[in-house]
Amino acid sequence: MALTLASAHLNDDDFLEAFQSCRLDKSQFRHADHLRLAWIHLHRQPFEEALRQVRVDVLRFAVHHNVPHLYHETITVAWMRLLATHHEPTFDEFLAKSESRLTKDLLFRFWSPELLDSREAREMWVSPDRHSLPAKSRGGSMPSDPA
C-alpha cells in the first residue's frame, strides 16, 4: 500500500514552518507526513532533542486542530527509534527503500496490538512486549527496552 505524503508540495523548511505554525491543514498531516516530521528533526538534531521537538510539534498541532487522539507516545517514540536506524540522505530515498514496511504492522512485530492500543501506551512510553527495537545509530539516549 503506497503512502500518501500530503505535504509533498512543500520543501522541508516550508513543511516544518507550516506544521509548527499550525498553518498546515490537518488533512495534510497523514502517516507519511508524521514520518517526514520525525525524519527532518532526526537529521537536524540529536535524538533526544528531535524527540522532544516532535512531541511539542505534534501536541501543539493536535490541540490547534482539535484532534487530541493524534498523539500517541509509544508510537511516536517507536517510529523515531526506527527512523534513527536509517542512513538514507533524503526522506524521499528513505521512502523509496522502505515504504512497503512503514505500516502499523511493523510496530506489531514489537508490540502486541492490545498493548500498543492501550491507554497506557498512548500516554507514556511502554517497552515492546514481543521483540526489542533495533539499536539506534544516531546520537543521544533513547528510552530503554526491558532487560
DSSP string, the chain: -----TTTTS-HHHHHHHHHTT-S-GGG--HHHHHHHHHHHHHHS-HHHHHHHHHHHHHHHHHHTT-GGG--HHHHHHHHHHHTT---SSHHHHHHHHGGG-SHHHHTTTS-HHHHTSHHHHHS----SSSPPPPP-SSS--PPPP-
Mean pLDDT for back-to-back runs of 10 residues, the chain (147 residues):
89 97 95 96 96 97 94 97 93 92 92 97 97 75 40
Domain coordinates in residue numbering, the chain:
12-123
> Rounded to whole angstroms, how far apart are CA atoms 44 and 98?
21
Is 47:84 a contact under the CB 8 Å cutoff? yes
Is 106:82 a contact under the CB 8 Å cutoff? yes
pLDDT single digits (tens) 36-51: 999 999 999 999 999 9
Structure pTM? Answer: 0.88
